[in-house]
């Protein structure tokens, strides 16, 4: 049987990158999927390609983050699984990050997951039904490079939130886990490399050659792992923030 057969899955930030990969994998595994994003054209195309439902949302607005769950309930009557995949990766160090940039990172990378989780867990508890949540975090939660100060702070907050909520709702049979993903090959990363790091057309090849496994993280591989965590096949695991990367944190040469 498919891993998510007859499950209702909401993927926030699901119109591109890792989120879009998760949408495709969840549909493949039998789920009814709702996805959100800011760009209507991109989201509607993915929905048409997969049979998912697209909801346009700016998750920086807490009301729209909560409303993503409401729209899922309106469409399917319940929510079984939530994935928070939206992310902002604009660059800024401790010394040059502005208050506005800091607030943007907190809004997308921490506040949006908080309030979408709030709404999803409320529905699960009201129905006395089990559920699963996966937060896409980042290895920057361990510290991160100097040019990702606000991003690292927000993602560290999301890692803490993941554990806190998992502990709070373990007796409700709501399992909440996170993935600290590393450097991943996405269209968004391509744009970031070109905009912030003067990367050329061969940046992927150069980056891959410098990695222990000879490649960057791949969207389809991450998506398959997320589907496993959403499914009953991941058993009782909850409160885990898993380093999905080829960097071994704490290891030294």
The predicted structure's pLDDT at residue 1: 82
Element (H, E) at 19: helix 17-28
**Phi/psi at 145 (nearest 5 deg)?**
-75, 160
Mean of the pLDDT values across residues 89-108? 97
Residue 249: strand, helix, or coil: coil
Residue 147: strand, helix, or coil: coil
Pairwise CA distance, residues 163 & 247, whole Å: 22
The predicted structure's pLDDT at residue 186: 86
At residue 108, does pLDDT exceed 90? yes
Mean of the pLDDT values across residues 48-76? 98
At residue 71, does pLDDT exceed 90? yes
Pairwise CA distance, residues 238 & 230, whole Å: 11
Can 147 be counted among the known catalytic residues? Answer: no
Give residue for tokens 């119109």.
Answer: 15
Mean of the pLDDT values across residues 19-42? 97
At residue 235, does pLDDT exceed 90? yes
The predicted structure's pLDDT at residue 191: 87
The predicted structure's pLDDT at residue 8: 98
Mean of the pLDDT values across residues 104-131? 98
The predicted structure's pLDDT at residue 13: 97
The predicted structure's pLDDT at residue 48: 98
Mean of the pLDDT values across residues 87-97? 95
The predicted structure's pLDDT at residue 226: 98
The predicted structure's pLDDT at residue 198: 85
**Average of per-residue pLDDT values in the chain:** 96
Instruction: List pLDDT tens digits, range 201-227.
Output: 999 999 999 999 999 999 999 999 999
Report how far Cα 62 is from the mean position of its chain's Cα atoms: 16
Q: Could you tell me the CA-to-CA distances from 165 to 101, 121, 191 in Å, in that order? A: 26, 9, 33
Pairwise CA distance, residues 17 & 25, whole Å: 13
Pairwise CA distance, residues 69 & 114, whole Å: 12
Pairwise CA distance, residues 102 & 118, whole Å: 23
Instruction: List pLDDT tens digits, range 163-200.
Output: 999 999 999 999 999 999 999 998 888 888 888 888 89
pTM of the model as a whole = 0.95
- For residue 104, is it left (φ>0), alpha (ψ between -120 and 50) or beta? alpha
Catalytic residue selected from 54, 151, 183, 225: 151
Instruction: List pLDDT tens digits, range 133-172.
Output: 999 999 999 999 999 999 999 999 999 999 999 999 999 9
């Amino acid at each position: 049987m498919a891993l998510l057969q007859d499950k209702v899955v909401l993927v926030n930030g699901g119109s591109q990158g890792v989120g879009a990969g998760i949408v495709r994998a969840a549909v493949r595994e039998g789920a009814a999927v709702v996805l959100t994003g800011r760009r209507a054209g991109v989201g509607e195309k993915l929905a048409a390609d997969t049979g998912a439902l697209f909801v346009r949302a700016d998750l920086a607005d807490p009301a729209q983050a909560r409303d993503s769950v409401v729209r899922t309930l309106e469409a399917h009557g319940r929510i079984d699984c939530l994935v928070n995949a939206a992310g902002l990766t604009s660059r800024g160090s401790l010394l040059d990050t502005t208050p506005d940039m800091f607030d943007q990172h907190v809004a997308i990378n921490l506040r949006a997951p908080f309030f979408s989780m709030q709404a999803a867990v409320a529905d699960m508890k009201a129905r006395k039904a089990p559920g699963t949540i996966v937060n896409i975090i980042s290895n920057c939660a361990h510290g991160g490079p100097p040019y990702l100060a606000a991003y690292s702070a927000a993602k560290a907050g999301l890692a803490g939130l993941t554990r806190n909520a998992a502990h709070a709702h373990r007796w409700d049979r709501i399992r909440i886990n996170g993935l600290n993903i590393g450097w991943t090959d996405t269209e968004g990363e391509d744009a970031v490399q070109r905009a912030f790091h003067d990367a050329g057309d061969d940046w992927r090849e150069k980056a891959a050659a410098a990695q222990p496994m000879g490649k960057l993280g791949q969207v389809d591989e991450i998506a398959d792992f997320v589907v496993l965590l959403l499914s009953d096949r991941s058993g009782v695991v909850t409160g885990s923030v898993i380093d999905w990367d080829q960097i071994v944190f704490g290891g030294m040469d």
